[in-house]
Structure 1
Amino acid sequence: MNGSREQSMDQMTAQEPWKVIVLFSIPSFLGNLFQQLYSMTDAVIIGRLVGIKQLAGVGAAGAINFLIIGFATGITGGFSVITAQRVGAGDTERTKSSIAASFCLCAIITLLLTFFGVVTASPLLGKMNTPDDIFPYALRYMLIVYSGLGAAVYYNLIVGILRAIGDSRTPLYFLVLSSVLNIILDLAAVIWLHAGVTGVAVSTVFAQFFSAAVCHLYAHRKYPQIRLEKRHFSVFFSEAWRHIRIGLPMALQFSVTAVGIMILQAYLNRFGSLVIAGYVAASKVENLVTLPFTTLAITMEVYCGQNYGAGNKARLRKGIRSSIFMGLGTAVFAAFISVFLGRQFIGLFLDHYDARVVEYGYQYLLIIAVFFWLLCSLQLLRSALQGMEEALVPLAGGVIELIARWAGCIIFIPYAGYAGACLSTPLAWGLALILLLIRFARIMK
């Protein structure tokens, strides 16, 4: 490995914490931005070129999709924590064993999740009170996404490995490629093939797989850690439990959060297609403006993983403090954008729409924007704890989020209707954050 690569891998444990966090976050932010943009493009294309009901159908499927895809994202993230710790400790052989175990485990998990997703898709949509006029679109989209779940798992695993090594730039390059390819295929499927929701779903799966495969080939040539041999797979059984012990709680934390969102979606579905469409469009805007939180959280998972593996406790404290200050600044900016430009962003997704759709979406943005600082703090502390192998407390936080969303809907909706359902989200953030703060304070002492 040449000197520049060694420097990129050592920066997390050597350079000034705030500086390395910023430098690592910039490529990650740009990559996540492109990912969000092509996710938003899917919604724009469906909402403007296909129809409002189809957009609502895809949105109704989103919460259930997150149950499966979130589990996959969480477990690959957990595996990469182990890899990052071994990179930080400078143990190349055990880094390769970690990567080999991650590949094997992900193959098994993909088969199980695909079967579970396909079998439960229709019953779950029914349990969530999905309106009949959007049910077929939601089901069709879900079945295609689940059938191509391996592409999402493959992509998340490769990106997680590269970030654990200390490379946040390579995923950016291939995310741009994937985003452009996805947009071209979406437009071709909708305009030329008239494939509607089906075409958009197939395009997304194909673009994701293509990006992951090409990224893997490139990384294999660039990084010796990814060039695995038979001996690295031979220790699979001894490595598997260590990875599952960290990865499974992180996966369950994502899925528990997803169940909470599904409960909220079930209550929102009772308000009809217009509310669902407004909420879906507003959620896309929320994902975009809160992207800096997500980026900093990903960075802190790698930063804490490597420094935990290297035993740099002072750097852990200093880096977490720096990320919190930066995150709170971005929370203020995200709230500003949501309040003053929210209606304009929501309108991008719709064509010849009922004005009430925009107002429903904007109402959601107004309510949650005030509490973005809670979401930012929650994401940063959760990732920091996970990087330090604290998997159970973040999972417990996810359970609290689920219970709080459900309780919030039960308590607030009878008095405030749709606004009450929206309020359940910041309530969930706040209560989960309290638990993480208590655990974090004990660790810091």
Structure 2
Amino acid sequence: MAKLKQLFSPKDMTEGTPWKRIVEFSIPMLIGNIAQQFYNTADSIVVGRYVGDNALAAVGSAGPILNLLLVLFVGISVGAGIMVSQYFGAKEREKLSRTIGVCITLTAIASIIIMIIGPLVTRPLLSLLNTPSTIIDWCEDYLVIIFVGIAGFAYYNILSGILRGLGDSLSALVFLLVSTVLNVGLDIWFVAGLNMGVAGVALATAIAQAISAVLCFIKLMRMNSTFDLNLKMLKLDKKYTSKLIKLGLPSGITQAIFSLAMIVVQSLTNSFGEMVIAANVIIMRVDGFAMMPNFSFGAAMTTYAGQNIGAKKLDRVVKGTKDGTRIAVIVSTVITILILIFGKYIMAVFTDTKELVDLSMSMMRILAVGYIAVAVTQSLSGVMRGAGDTMTPMWISLITTIILRVPTAYGIAYLTRSAAYPTGRPESTFISLLVSWTMGAVITLIFYQRGNWRKKGFAGKA
């Protein structure tokens, strides 16, 4: 019983063998990220199988707009993770408690804002993106339901981020697994049983996310040996609010940059027609799973670096960075090989349309090698963020996305126009993504080696 309790308690990553601590933390996160990816994947499989390929395209086309309006939560979550890990590593209980309280209050405010703004801007944004008339109503239904139920998504991501900052990635995993199973069950019931269509998968997702958020909150309430959570701590303290926003805003802006780029590129994708839109959805679902190890190691490196920076153990940070990046690259290489061998069978799960499967696989081959580059970017960016340097990853994202990806996508599309492809070849969007990923890894490595991130730690300071 004692060992079981220890598994679900905060973990001190400032002691022990660096690579073992990173792997121990990463495995539950990886499983959790895979489970979270099942939210969107289950939606896509269910609507693709029970409603049709156009419904599949509708769910996918809603993604860029959804991501754009979630940047507030990304900022809060990243800022929270950095502050929690550094204060936990420095053993500063008061500052840790106030940080967690401020995060909970800010999340409530951000949720209300999105609940009001989201449904109002959904239709205009979909029209702006030239969303085909055959799927625009389904897109709108999906997004409005998600935005109205946004508090569950927001609180799960913020509270699980706090748990991870404390070194407890296992509790967040268990809660997510419970809600994922529920989400899949509700998807099938609402869509196949009640014929609710795209709206059914959105409602299932909102309910499941709310339950995972409640479970995270209950867990935090029971961790009073590590920090204090009461009405006093929930008050918006100017010092902690500004610090959280300062740390989280660059990551929020980074997410906004990605989302805006996706929206601009989605407009190009939409011009290729429903078949390419549906193929893009399938690829992004497979891509989501392929990216999971990279995101998991990136988040692990943020917590690891944060705790050790807080404990003033810089040498340990450098050693762990080498170990963590090496492991991430090996894992991504294996995944890339598996995608190239078995990708076609995975894509056939989403649709029975052979042409759609073949098109998706041909595009996926373009992206595959890029996952190894992203492993480097995520690991090193995670270290910089954990140290408190969130600006550098933001600028790198801006350069690789705005300056490289978007112009490359439209440039290739323009140059490949023909009678068969009046708006250009659809490969353009995927080639541009590969270029931005590769350059991102190179630039991130250069800035990591320059070492400005070493001076950004704030725990232990007045």
- TM interval, shorter chain, is over 0.9
CA shift digits 1:184-230 (9 cap, x unpaired): 11111012211011111011001100111023113322453454123
Which residue identity is paired with 2:190? A
Q: Which runs of 5+ in 2 are unaligned?
A: 417-424, 455-462
Alignment partner of 1:414 is 2:414: yes
Q: Which runs of 5+ in 1 are unaligned?
A: none
CA shift digits 1:234-255 (9 cap, x unpaired): 4622211011100111111111
Aligned to 2:405: 405
Aligned to 1:395: 394
Decide whether the 8 Å contact of 2:11 with 2:166 is kept in 1.
Answer: no
Identity %: 29
Return the alpha-carbon distance in structure 1 between the equivalents of residues 87 and 386 of structure 2: 12
Structure-2 change in CA distance of 1:287 and 1:235 (3 Å): closer
CA shift digits 1:11-59 (9 cap, x unpaired): 3111111000011111111111211223211111010011110110110
Return the alpha-carbon distance in structure 2 between the equivalents of residues 207 and 282 of structure 1: 24
Secondary structure at 1:317's aligned position in 2? helix
Aligned to 2:142: 141
Structure-2 change in CA distance of 1:30 and 1:289 (3 Å): same
Q: Aligned pairs, how many?
A: 442
CA shift digits 1:79-102 (9 cap, x unpaired): 221111100000111110000111
Return the alpha-carbon distance in structure 1 between the equivalents of residues 360 and 440 of structure 2: 25
- 1:304: Cα distance to partner? 1.0
Aligned to 1:129: 130
Secondary structure at 1:48's aligned position in 2? helix
- 1:402: Cα distance to partner? 2.5
Aligned to 2:460: none
Structure-2 change in CA distance of 1:10 and 1:275 (3 Å): closer
Return the alpha-carbon distance in structure 2 between the equivalents of residues 35 and 263 of structure 1: 26
Which TM-score applies when normalising by structure 2? 0.91
Aligned to 1:324: 325
Aligned to 2:302: 301
Which residue identity is paired with 2:142? Y
Alignment partner of 1:433 is 2:434: no
Return the alpha-carbon distance in structure 2 between the equivalents of residues 151 and 38 of structure 1: 13
- 1:133: Cα distance to partner? 0.8
Decide whether the 8 Å contact of 1:10 with 1:88 is kept in 2.
Answer: no
Decide whether the 8 Å contact of 2:261 with 2:401 is kept in 1.
Answer: yes
Which residue identity is paired with 2:412? F
Structure-2 change in CA distance of 1:107 and 1:62 (3 Å): same
Please give the residue correspondences for 1:27-426 in structure 2 after superposition, counting only pairs within 5 Å.
27-225=28-226, 227-234=228-235, 236-351=237-352, 353=353, 355-403=354-402, 404-416=404-416, 417-426=425-434
Return the alpha-carbon distance in structure 2 between the equivalents of residues 343 and 7 of structure 1: 38
Secondary structure at 1:224's aligned position in 2? coil
Decide whether the 8 Å contact of 1:278 with 1:359 is kept in 2.
Answer: no
Secondary structure at 2:222's aligned position in 1? helix
- 1:156: Cα distance to partner? 0.6
Decide whether the 8 Å contact of 1:71 with 1:255 is kept in 2.
Answer: no
CA shift digits 1:121-153 (9 cap, x unpaired): 112212222111111111111111111111111
Structure-2 change in CA distance of 1:143 and 1:283 (3 Å): same
Q: Which is worse superposed, 221-230 or 175-184?
A: 221-230
Return the alpha-carbon distance in structure 1 between the equivalents of residues 383 and 413 of structure 2: 34
Decide whether the 8 Å contact of 1:151 with 1:212 is kept in 2.
Answer: yes
CA shift digits 1:375-419 (9 cap, x unpaired): 111111222111111111111122123312211112211334111
CA shift digits 1:276-329 (9 cap, x unpaired): 111101111111122111111111111111111111110111111111111111
Decide whether the 8 Å contact of 1:74 with 1:253 is kept in 2.
Answer: no
Structure-2 change in CA distance of 1:113 and 1:369 (3 Å): same
Return the alpha-carbon distance in structure 2 between the equivalents of residues 127 and 193 of structure 1: 32
Secondary structure at 1:11's aligned position in 2? coil
- 1:8: Cα distance to partner? 5.7
Return the alpha-carbon distance in structure 2 between the equivalents of residues 156 and 326 of structure 1: 25
**RMSD of the TM alignment (CA)?**
2.0
Decide whether the 8 Å contact of 2:332 with 2:371 is kept in 1.
Answer: yes
CA shift digits 1:340-368 (9 cap, x unpaired): 111111110113x2x22112211221001
Return the alpha-carbon distance in structure 1 between the equivalents of residues 188 and 9 of structure 2: 38
Which residue identity is paired with 1:363? S
Which residue identity is paired with 2:408? G
Secondary structure at 1:169's aligned position in 2? helix
Which residue identity is paired with 1:339? L
Return the alpha-carbon distance in structure 2 between the equivalents of residues 59 and 336 of structure 1: 26
Alignment partner of 1:14 is 2:15: yes
